[in-house]
């Protein structure tokens, strides 16, 4: 079982017994960053989540993990965001067999290609037919048909999969040609470090020598003037030598103004193709294909349910399958429709959320593990004063409540107290990043509950 699967299993289990607000607040963006020698390290996005998981959920998490893998005896939580960096560091210490589980790390260091992404595993439907056909054509005759090939579309719709598939194909069929895949962020940081280390010539040399250059997510080049310039030079040299260039972005080229302006005429000779959202039938086809790859199988009504709930993002479709599969492993039975509905309730977006003063006060109280009553009293205890000020701040900020109204809500306090609280939090927000995060988390839970 990979760490990701393990964690999915924990999340699935916890979600069944936790309110939606709590689940979203404390478990969003968490993951297992390593599991070794009975010790699991859980990566959490901020120190509040760390504290809460340690104090309130540790037992449940440990029990679930232990049920899945008896060797797990200990958990520690660390705050961190950069999954790749941390994972890589820890990977170096892991035994060989564990490493194989991380498909992402079978990535070829030279080409940055991940063998997992192939045309074979790519489901084609009306929504991605054109970019798929173009990708196939380009991979058969790199540099000779559509050049550049520009593929755009929203998050999780298969851009990277398609780009990587082209790379894998050309690397396989044209062994003499140099293929390279790179994200635009990585490209940008290479530019920066080459400048810093006075190695710009070597940088240019390297990229001019490419036969198939794939740059993913070029929207991130927006605003990076120097990088754009280097990109532009590389692009021109390759283009003039009939080398294949493949680009992706989350928006059409004309929406990336500065960049596109210079490249516009070039794009005309190439192909611009967009991936839209998959239709219902294709979503089901994708679910079934992925299930087959993972050697799992669920009743049709479940696929239909998932496909009706998750409409815009293929990555989320995959995530849903993983969750169901974990549920099955953990409970030794196939989930039925009711269970599936429970598991995915937080994926249903509620179209209209009504925020009330009660919800705000409740949300703040729950967040700090206080009783609502405590918030409303005149207590001067530090643990209560700050949450109370935050509640007042939110009543003003989110509900546009008048200060006298806010004062009255807090057991008839004077409006000056409300003003003072509001201003104090505003001031602190300007310099306190942690407070900002804290309030964000509180808001999230108010808005989704």
**Binding positions for Mg ion, rule: CB under 5 A:** 159-160
Task: Classify residue 233 as left (phi > 0), alpha (psi -120 to 50) or beta.
Answer: alpha
DSSP-derived secondary structure for 133-194: HHHHHHHHSTTTSSSSEEEEE-TTSSHHHHHHHHHHHHHHH-TTS-EEEEEHHHHHHHHHHH
Of 49 and 163, nearer to ligand ADP (C-beta) is 163
The Cα 32–Cα 123 span in angstroms is: 30
Shorter beta-carbon distance to ligand ADP: residue 248 or 389? 248
Q: Which residue is nearest to ligand ADP (CB)?
A: 158
Contact stretch for ligand ADP (CB under 6 A) within 7-15, 154-162, 199-207, 414-422: 154-162
Give the residue ranges of DSSP H helices in 220-352: 225-240, 257-268, 280-293, 300-309, 314-331, 337-343
Q: Point out which span in 58-66, 118-126, 323-331, 385-393 binds ligand ADP (CB under 6 A).
A: 118-126
Residue 323 near which of Mg ion, ligand ADP, none (CB within 5-8 Å, type-dependent): none
List binders of ligand ADP among 247-276 (CB under 6 A). none
Contact assessment for residue 370 and residue 381, using Cβ atoms and an 8 Å cutoff: no
CB of 423 to ligand ADP, least distance (A): 42
Which pair of structure tokens corresponds to residue 333?
């039975």
The partner in contact with residue 286, picked from ligand ADP, Mg ion, none with C-beta cut-offs of 5 to 8 angstroms by kind, is ligand ADP
Size of the site for ligand ADP (CB under 6 A): 16
Give the whole-angstrom CA distance, residue 213 versus residue 238.
Answer: 9
Binding residues for ligand ADP restricted to 314-343, rule: CB under 6 A = 314-315, 318
Q: Tell me which of 50, 161, 283, 323 binds ligand ADP, using CB under 6 A.
A: 161
Least Å from the CB of residue 171 to Mg ion:
19
Q: What is the CA radius of gyration of the chain?
A: 26
Closest to 98 measured CA to CA, from 12, 9, 32, 29: 32
Spatial contact of 272 and 253, defined as CB atoms under 8 Å apart: yes
Q: Which is nearer to ligand ADP, 218 or 406 (CB)?
A: 218
Binding segment toward ligand ADP, per CB under 6 A, in 93-101, 157-165, 259-267, 336-344:
157-165
My answer on whether omega of the bond before 148 falls inside 30° of 0, hence cis, is: yes
* Residue 215 binds ligand ADP (CB under 6 A): no
Does the protein bind ligand ADP through residue 159 (CB under 6 A)?
yes
Of 122, 231, 368, 422, which lies in the binding site for ligand ADP, with binding defined by CB under 6 A?
122
Min separation Cβ 229 and ligand ADP, Å: 26
Which residue, 153 or 407, is less far from ligand ADP as judged by CB?
Answer: 153
**Inter-residue contact 212 to 177 (CB < 8 Å):** yes
Complex with ligand ADP: residue 158 or 407, whichever CB lies closer: 158
Choose the contact partner of 128 out of ligand ADP, Mg ion, none; CB within 5 to 8 A by kind. ligand ADP
Shorter beta-carbon distance to Mg ion: residue 159 or 290: 159
- Look-up of token digits 């579309």: 153
Q: Token digits for 269?
A: 């000779």
Helix locations, 28-158, DSSP H: 47-52, 58-68, 83-91, 96-101, 129-140
Candidates 29-37, 148-156, 198-206, 266-274; binding stretch for ligand ADP (CB under 6 A): 148-156
Binding to ligand ADP by residue 157, rule CB under 6 A?
A: yes
Reference 327, options 314, 340, 310; nearest CA is 340
Q: Which of 115-123, 292-300, 334-342, 401-409 is the region at the interface with ligand ADP (rule: CB under 6 A)?
A: 115-123
Where do contacts with ligand ADP occur on this chain (CB under 6 A)?
121-123, 128, 153, 155-161, 286, 314-315, 318
């Amino acid at each position: 079982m990979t760490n990701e699967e393990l964690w999915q299993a924990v999340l699935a289990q916890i979600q069944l017994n936790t309110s939606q607000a709590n689940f979203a607040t404390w478990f969003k963006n968490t993951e297992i960053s390593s599991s070794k020698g009975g010790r699991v390290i859980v990566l959490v996005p901020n120190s509040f989540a760390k504290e809460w998981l340690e104090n309130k959920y540790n037992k449940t998490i440990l029990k679930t993990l232990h049920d899945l893998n008896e060797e797990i005896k200990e958990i520690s939580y660390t705050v961190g965001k950069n999954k790749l960096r941390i994972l890589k560091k820890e990977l170096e210490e892991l035994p060989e067999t564990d490493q194989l589980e991380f498909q992402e790390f079978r990535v070829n260091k030279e080409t940055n290609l991940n063998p997992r992404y192939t045309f074979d595993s790519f489901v084609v439907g009306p929504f991605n037919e054109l970019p798929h056909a173009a990708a196939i054509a380009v991979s058969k005759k790199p540099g000779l048909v559509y050049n550049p090939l520009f593929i755009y579309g929203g998050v999780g719709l298969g851009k990277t999969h398609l780009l990587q598939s082209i790379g894998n194909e050309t690397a396989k069929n044209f062994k003499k040609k140099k293929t390279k895949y790179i994200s635009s962020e990585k490209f940008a940081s290479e530019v920066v470090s080459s400048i810093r280390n006075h190695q710009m010539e070597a940088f240019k040399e390297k990229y001019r020598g490419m036969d198939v250059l794939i740059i993913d997510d070029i929207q991130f080049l927006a605003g990076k003037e120097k990088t754009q310039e280097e990109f532009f030079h590389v692009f021109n040299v390759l283009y003039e030598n009939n080398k294949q260039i493949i680009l992706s972005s989350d928006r059409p080229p004309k929406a990336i103004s500065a960049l596109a302006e210079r490249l516009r005429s070039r794009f005309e000779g190439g192909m611009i193709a967009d991936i839209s959202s998959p239709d219902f039938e294709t979503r089901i086809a994708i679910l079934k294909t992925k299930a087959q790859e993972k050697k799992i199988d669920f009743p049709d009504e479940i696929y239909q349910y998932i496909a009706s709930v998750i409409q815009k993002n293929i990555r989320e479709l995959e995530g849903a399958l993983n969750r169901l599969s974990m549920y099955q492993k953990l409970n030794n039975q196939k989930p039925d429709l009711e269970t599936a509905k429970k598991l995915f309730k937080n994926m249903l977006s509620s179209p209209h959320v009504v925020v009330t003063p009660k919800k705000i006060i409740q949300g703040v109280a729950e967040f700090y593990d206080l009783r609502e009553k405590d918030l409303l009293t005149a207590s001067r205890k530090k643990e209560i004063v700050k949450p109370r000020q935050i509640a007042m701040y939110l009543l003003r900020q989110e509900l546009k409540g008048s200060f006298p109204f806010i004062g009255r809500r807090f057991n008839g306090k004077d409006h000056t107290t409300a003003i003072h609280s509001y201003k104090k939090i505003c001031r602190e927000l300007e310099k306190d990043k942690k407070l900002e995060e804290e309030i964000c988390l509180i808001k999230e839970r108010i808005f989704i509950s």
